[in-house]
Structure 1
Amino acid sequence: MPLLLLLMAFLLPPGAGAGEIIGGKEARPHSHPYMAFLQIQSQQGLSACGGFLVRNDFVLTAAHCWGRTITVTLGAHNIHRQERTQQRTRACRATRHPDYNPQTNRNDIMLLKLARPMRRTSAVRPVALPRGRARVRPGDRCTVAGWGQLGLNRRTNRLHEVQLTVQSDSGCSSRFSFYNSQTQICVGNPRKRKSAFLGDSGGPLVCNGVAQGIVSYGNKLGTPPAVFTRIRSFMPWVNRTMRRFKQPCKT
């Protein structure tokens, strides 16, 4: 299957479809050095997701991006080119949240332990995770990046970005029956044609330099708002999991 088609082949709850960057622009090369491109082999075939480096040996992504084998590429801008900045490895362990529900996409978060640590460069660098009790609020402006589609029939090989505004929880609870304000964030002004869409699942919502959310799901047409996993709610699990698997993978 051509790689461009892989960007459309990921799992979402019935009636959902988040993933591509709509209404954004091409990112300046390597301006998001934490971004990871995931190629996934599962029983359903090949697919692709986004992810983001949170430590030299761990990438955070969405639980619905799970597969038998996951190849992780860091330092990429054009995913169809062998750029000198790219570093590629495999996920030797994929740990989904134990309470992940594939029917509702609740607790849609997964940690990937990398087979080898990534070397920090200007094009490869981890992003900060939430600390303390501060949380994103309606009106906050954040950035999402990904290699997903630019529209229903528009595809790209290059990393794109878009600025999105955090919405009140009612904007998603009235639209999605399984929305949970404690573990999810409602993102994207419904009056603007800007959103994440097919292929961007697992990518980060970055607010003031901190990854606060993970692209999870939205509606089939990509009209905002969309639902993001609230990372802050899962930080105890994230820290516990990274400590548990801190030793290098056995080859």
Structure 2
Amino acid sequence: MLRVYWITITAVCVGLEGVSGDKIIDGTEAKAHSRPYMAFLRIRKGKNMYNCDGFLIHPNFILTAAHCQGENITVRLGAHNLLKNERSQQVIPVEKIIPHECYNEITLVDDIMLLKLKHRARITCEVNTISIPKINEPLDLNKCSVAGWGDTKTNGTGSSVLREVNINVRFKSLSQIFGRGSGKKGACHGDSGGPLVCTGTSNIPTAVGIVSYGPKRCEDPGSEVYTKVSAYRDWIKKKINASSSA
């Protein structure tokens, strides 16, 4: 499998005007605000703007993929339709970008990053945190899904509305999870950094993975690769504690 970053690059002057809502490969539109942990990221790097996703794990912190780094990042929480001025939305600049120290741009090992928000997110019905798993927590890997504002096809455009698709976990390594939906169902460009959500203890939705990379063409067969969140639980806790006390 080719290791292809799943970010969407747009020119600085190009926004989301005119984009379609038919995104996430062969998926469906999510019920509005049914995933209150989802975060839409606008990332500036040089003259380019990148789109990634992330998820709120603490009122002050977003978890996402390390390959979504940039010089400046703005987080949008509480969104469903990015083209609408929804009252639920909270736009918060990122104060500190914290990629994993061992992240490798070639192998995409340790593709995980924390974003410290400039101020705390206001917890509401549309904006809330999601649990991350303990190292040995029992999980129902038969009930997993991924969501995002990414493309439905290679070289497509970003979605205006959040879309979702079910994912079948195929196998796990020490630090990664491999999975794919049935047929061509799955994530695509622009979905990087979003959570692979499975059922955890007491049927609580739990972010077990982070969208990292997939086939060169989203429609091609093969597994998508997710950073395994539980493998980095100690790192996450350490970085949150250090940044919160700074």
Question: Same fold per TM (> 0.5)?
Answer: yes
- Decide whether the 8 Å contact of 1:184 with 1:230 is kept in 2: yes
1:167 partner SS: strand
- Decide whether the 8 Å contact of 2:150 with 2:157 is kept in 1: no
Quick one: percent identity of the two aligned structures?
40
CA distance in structure 1 between the partners assigned to 2:229 and 2:171 by the alignment:
17
Give 2:206's aligned residue.
210
CA distance in structure 2 between the partners assigned to 1:244 and 1:135 by the alignment:
29
Structure 2 unaligned residues grouped into runs of 5+: 1-10, 200-204
Q: TM-score, normalised by structure 1?
A: 0.83
Give 1:144's aligned residue.
146
Amino acid at match of 2:52: C
Deviation at 1:168, TM superposition (A): 2.6
Deviation at 1:97, TM superposition (A): 0.5
Give 1:226's aligned residue.
224
Structure 1 unaligned residues grouped into runs of 5+: 8-19, 170-180
Instruction: Give matches, 1:61-140, under 5 Å.
Output: 61-134=64-137, 140=142
CA distance in structure 2 between the partners assigned to 1:44 and 1:144 by the alignment:
30
Give 2:191's aligned residue.
200
Give 1:3's aligned residue.
15
Amino acid at match of 2:213: Y
Amino acid at match of 1:220: K
Amino acid at match of 1:59: I
CA distance in structure 2 between the partners assigned to 1:151 and 1:127 by the alignment:
28
CA distance in structure 1 between the partners assigned to 2:107 and 2:226 by the alignment:
13
2:241 partner SS: helix
CA distance in structure 2 between the partners assigned to 1:156 and 1:98 by the alignment:
32
Q: Which has the higher strand share?
A: 2
Deviation at 1:43, TM superposition (A): 2.5
Deviation at 1:81, TM superposition (A): 1.9
Compared CA separation, residues 136 and 105, structure 1 to 2 (3 A): farther
Deviation at 1:150, TM superposition (A): 1.5
CA distance in structure 1 between the partners assigned to 2:198 and 2:117 by the alignment:
25
Q: TM-score, normalised by structure 2?
A: 0.85
CA distance in structure 2 between the partners assigned to 1:237 and 1:217 by the alignment:
21
Amino acid at match of 1:245: S
Deviation at 1:48, TM superposition (A): 0.6
CA distance in structure 1 between the partners assigned to 2:51 and 2:157 by the alignment:
16
Give 2:5's aligned residue.
none
Give 1:187's aligned residue.
179
1:214 partner SS: strand
Deviation at 1:247, TM superposition (A): 4.2
Matched, 1:167 2:166: no
CA distance in structure 1 between the partners assigned to 2:42 and 2:123 by the alignment:
21
CA distance in structure 2 between the partners assigned to 1:247 and 1:120 by the alignment:
21
Deviation at 1:103, TM superposition (A): 1.0
- Decide whether the 8 Å contact of 2:135 with 2:231 is kept in 1: no
Compared CA separation, residues 200 and 234, structure 1 to 2 (3 A): same
Give 1:11's aligned residue.
none
User: Can you list the C-alpha shifts for 1:155-205, whole angstroms capped at 9, x where unaligned?
Assistant: 421000011110035xxxxxxxxxxx110000114x511111100000000
CA distance in structure 2 between the partners assigned to 1:44 and 1:237 by the alignment:
32
Aligned residue-pair number: 222
Deviation at 1:225, TM superposition (A): 1.5
Compared CA separation, residues 155 and 112, structure 1 to 2 (3 A): closer
